[in-house]
Amino acid sequence: MARKIKAPALFDRRLLREAFLQSFIKLHPRLMIHNPVMFTVEVGTALMVVVTFIAVLHLMLGEPVAYNAVIAIILLFTLLFANFAEGLAEARGKAQAESLRKTREDTIAKRLPYKDADPAEAEMIPASQLRKGDIFFCEAGDIIPSDGEIIEGIASIDESAITGESAPVIREAGGDRSGVTGGTKVLSDWIKVRVTINRGESYLDKMISLVEGASRQKTPNEVALTILLASLTLVFIVVCVTLSFFAAYAHTQISLAAYIALFVCLIPTTIGGLLSAIGIAGMNRALQANIIAKSGKAVETAGDVDTLLLDKTGTITIGNRKATRFHPLQGVDLQHLIDCAVLSSMADDTPEGRSILELAKQYPDKTKFPDATMIPFTAETRTSGIDLPNRKIRKGSVDAVGHLCAQAGHPLTQEAYAIVESISKNGGTPLVVSENGQALGIIELQDIIKPGIQERFQRLRKMGVKTVMVTGDNPLTAKYIAEKAGVDDYIAEAKPEDKMQYIRKEQQEGKLVAMMGDGTNDAPALAQADVGVAMNSGTQAAKEAGNMVDLDNDPTKLIEVVEIGKQLLITRGTLTTFSIANDIAKYFAIIPALFINQIPGFQALNIMHLHSPQSAILSAVIFNAIIIPLLIPLAMRGVAYQPVGATALLRRNLLIYGVGGLILPFIGIKCIDLLISVL
């Protein structure tokens, strides 16, 4: 199991110091202007400081100096708490980035002048001097100096510095496992690699940049919410200005401090102060899952995904089909079929070929067949076998071996096809064994479905996400596996264009689609999908096409990506609900306090029975400030995710965070008022 990139403790001393410093740095108007809600709070704070300063100089007679000063200080703390939340989220990201930097070394690269150059011609240069398109050579013991794609050779590579996975992996030229990452180590053999990025553009560099938070771009939903909050702020500016006319009509004098306090409590400062922190924390959670998201938009979009495309092999099934049974045809001895199956599998180094030897419990020695010609398995022929004197034994797919038998004048019988169909209906894969062009029987291979995968699909179904299995199997086998695994749909005998066509069809119906891939042939579909997750071990084309890269190379990670995205959206939604709900209590605290002296009837609105107009305003402003730091842990960790439908989720959020946000401020403001009245 690959280790996750460890997040520092929420209240680590180093993080708190950094966040405290950032709380003051972020007070600069050039930075605050990006958050319209808190910027207006800063303007109000500045006005209160000026008013207090003038009152101290006795230039504004009648203005209570101490009262104004306290309001100014509380508003300043409101700003500092909001900045602290964002600073803490960024500090956590920077701490994670520091741990990543330790995995990056400025190693020595063996740069070759051209592709076919001899390794002896290599020029030793610092890795920082490598540029896109350069070719370098690595052999056993070398640290790979840069991200690239293998153009020649094969090697065993230790990727634990990046993924934490201790088991080495095989990377080779020409396949879907040709991508290598800078900072990993070659354990055996040699490779020639073409650099695919310039310095500072590697996936590790991108990850470091993303998690540091300061360079994070706002996502579309976050921008939309920011615009909504800014609009509400403008509305409440109009409300406060209009209120002054009502006050004049009622012959009530309202101080500037009261107007500013009312305005700050009316606008949604709670969500305004936590909005950036929520987004940064969501990116950090993706990083902890060893996922590089090229943008925050990708993580957020994952939370809105409607359709999920998953490869069968390695995702739904364990990955290696195993031989489970030999089916001899009529008149063929079972032992003779087994012996021929073993001989035909001697040159088959695939997991399926080895599983046939395991089922037969025979492990023949190739040296005992000096006159034999071994026929290795290839994807092109889809067969393997052995040529002995007077005997030609083959094993392979029904189509390939059936064609060989037909050429020899012995086409497959109805009995053979009946066995093939029966195996396929049970989710198996049939392999035909023949001797001298005569079919002997069928080997049954079975996919092993991963434990617990059905429960995960059930969770996705509760979220409203449709799961689609993609496989190269025939329709009968695909249907069986799909039903057994519990997926909603499947694409059998899938080709790259089939994936593209399915994705486009779903998108034309207004749905968001996610998929995972690792090969060059997956690149078009990854680019077309709304969320494309490429495996780090895959080709450069796949990684460039996707908008996320999974460092663990775990095909099931796509399910985790969706859950992270949904948690981000749920956290933002619930805290927005809470923020708007908790403003109601502040209205009942401040508005009666403004008019109660001139209009005694407003006493009926003082349902909290607050001590005095001044203590009511102070209590509301203090609660408005302290609720922000109290919600920081929830913003950082995210709201607990539950796989339920949208209607049930809305009902739950309204009940917990809507009603809770409505009741809690009444209790909090009353407690603060009692404390102020005592003091």
Structure tokens at 210: 């993303």
Tell me what pLDDT residue 453 has.
82
Look at residues 448, 467, 483 and tell me which one is the last residue of a structural domain: 448
Cα(659)–Cα(666) distance, integer angstroms: 12
Average pLDDT over residues 469-481: 83
Mean pLDDT across the stretch 145-162? 83
Q: How many CA atoms lie within 13 A of 553 on its CB side?
A: 21
**Statement: residue 4 has pLDDT above 60:** no
304 lies in the same domain as 354: no
pLDDT at 57 over 50: yes
Is the pLDDT at 145 greater than 80, yes or no?
A: yes
Locus of tokens 């409203």: 464
- CATH number of the domain that residue 323 is part of: 3.40.1110.10
Q: Which two tokens stand for residue 392?
A: 């030609």
Q: Nearest to residue 279, comparing CAs of 293, 265, 262?
A: 293
Whether the pLDDT of residue 392 is over 90: the answer is yes
For 512-533, how does the pLDDT look when each residue is reduced to its tens digit (9 = 90+)?
999 887 777 788 888 899 888 8
Band (pLDDT 50/70/90 cuts) for residue 387 is: very high
- The tokens for 667 are 């209790």
pLDDT of residue 209: 63
Average pLDDT over residues 363-373: 82
Task: Please give the pLDDT value at position 26.
Answer: 92
Is 304 considered catalytic here? no
Domain count for the chain: 3
Cα 656 to its chain centre, rounded Å, is: 27
* 77 compared with 367, residue with greater pLDDT: 77
Which tokens hold the place of 509?
């119906």
On whether residue 569 sits in a domain, the answer given is yes
Give 77's pLDDT tier (boundaries 50, 70, 90).
very high
pLDDT at 203: 59
pLDDT of residue 162: 63
Exposure class string for 188-227: b at 16+ Cβ within 10 A, else e: ebebbbbbbbebeebbbbbbbbbbbbeebebbebbeebbe
Task: Give the Cα separation of 292 and 181 in Å (integer).
Answer: 13
Q: Widest CA span of the chain, in angstroms?
A: 117
SS3 621: helix
- Give the model confidence (pLDDT) of 631-664 as tens digits: 988 888 888 777 666 667 777 777 888 888 889 9
Annotated binding site for ATP: 348, 352, 377-384, 395
**Of 311, 447, 550, 552, catalytic:** 311
Domain end call among 485, 519, 551: 551
- What pLDDT score does 164 carry? 53
Given the DSSP bridges, would you call strands 531-535 and 179-180 parallel, antiparallel or unpaired?
unpaired
Q: How far apart are CA 568 and CA 371, in angstroms?
A: 65
Tell whether 592 is covered by a domain: yes
Mean pLDDT (the chain, rounded):
83
Structure tokens at 676: 């102020």
User: 521-525 long-range contacts, Cβ below 8 Å, gap at least 24?
Assistant: 521/176, 521/496, 522/496, 524/496, 524/499, 524/500, 525/309, 525/496, 525/499, 525/500
Residue 405 to residue 419: CA distance in whole angstroms: 17
Residue 187 in any domain: the answer is no
Query: Do 332 and 388 fall into the same domain?
Result: yes
Domain for residue 610, yes or no?
yes
- For residue 120, tell me if it sits in a domain: no
Whether residue 300 is found in the same domain as residue 358: no
Choosing from 423, 448, 473, the residue where a domain stops is 448
Q: Residues marked as binding?
A: 348, 352, 377-384, 395, 518, 522
- Whether the pLDDT of residue 446 is over 90: the answer is no
Closest CA relative to residue 328, chosen from 432, 403, 422, 445: 432
Range of the domain at 672: 13-96+211-288+563-678
pLDDT of residue 328: 94
Task: Decide if pLDDT at 212 tops 70.
Answer: no
> In Å, how far from its chain's centre is CA 366?
48
Q: Are residues 444 and 532 in the same domain?
A: no
Q: How far apart are CA 519 and CA 562, in angstroms?
A: 22
Higher pLDDT, 337 or 87: 337
Structure-token pair, residue 571: 């956290």
Q: Which residues pair with 310 in a beta bridge?
A: 469
12-22 pLDDT, tens digit per residue, is: 788 888 889 99
In a domain, 4, yes or no: no
Share of the chain above pLDDT 70, in %: 89
Q: Answer yes or no: do 509 and 522 share one domain.
A: yes
Q: How are the residues of the chain apportioned to helix, strand and coil, as percentages rounded to the nearest 5?
A: 55, 15, 30
Confidence label for 2 from pLDDT (cuts 50, 70 and 90):
very low
Is residue 159 in some structural domain? no
Among 188-197, 225-234, 289-298, 434-443, the least confident range = 289-298
Distance (Å, rounded) from C-alpha 280 to C-alpha 65? 40
Query: Are residues 607 and 485 part of one domain?
Result: no
Q: Say if residue 599 is in the same domain as residue 638.
A: yes
Residues 217, 86: one domain?
yes
The pLDDT > 90 percentage for the chain reads 23
For 603, phi and psi rounded to 5 degrees? Answer: -60, -25
Same-domain status, 236 and 354:
no
17 has which bridge partners? none
Q: What is the pLDDT of residues 534-543, one digit of tens each?
A: 877 677 777 7
CB contact burial 251-269 (16+ within 10 A = b; e otherwise): ebebbbbbbbbbbbbbbbb
pLDDT band for position 176 (50/70/90)? low
What residues form DSSP beta bridges with 54?
Answer: none
Regarding beta strands 513-517 and 531-535, do their DSSP bridges make them parallel or antiparallel, or are they unpaired?
Answer: parallel
User: What is the rounded average pLDDT of the residues 98-123?
Assistant: 78
Is 173 within the bounds of a domain?
no
Model pLDDT, residue 402: 92
**Cβ(261)–Cβ(620) below 8 Å:** yes
Strand ranges inside 64-220, DSSP E = 108-112, 123-126, 135-139, 148-158, 169-172, 179-180, 185-195
Residue range 435-460: average pLDDT? 87
What residues form DSSP beta bridges with 375? 385
Reply yes or no on whether the pLDDT at 371 is more than 90: no
User: What is the average pLDDT across 584-604?
Assistant: 78
pLDDT tier at 439, thresholds 50, 70, 90: very high
CA–CA distance, 186 with 172 (Å, rounded to integer): 12
Mean pLDDT of 1-5: 44
Annotated binding site for Mg(2+): 518, 522
- Asked if pLDDT for residue 605 goes beyond 80, the answer is no
Residues 423 and 331 in one domain: yes
Q: Are 441 and 476 part of one and the same domain?
A: no
- Tens-digit pLDDT profile for residues 241-280: 888 888 888 777 888 888 888 888 888 898 888 888 887 7
Q: Specify the higher pLDDT residue, 123 or 289.
A: 123
* pLDDT on residue 105: 52
Same domain for 331 and 415, yes or no, is yes
Residues 6+ apart with CB under 8 A from 368: none
What is the rounded CA–CA span in Å between residue 288 and residue 290?
Answer: 5
Residue 208 binned pLDDT confidence (cut-offs 50, 70, 90): low
> Which of the two residues, 158 and 72, has the higher pLDDT score?
72
328-351: average pLDDT: 90
- Report pLDDT for 412: 92
pLDDT confidence bin for 163, thresholds 50/70/90 = low
Task: Read off the pLDDT of residues 396-415 as tens digits, 9 standing for 90 and up.
Answer: 989 999 999 999 999 999 99
CATH code (residue 537): 3.40.50.1000
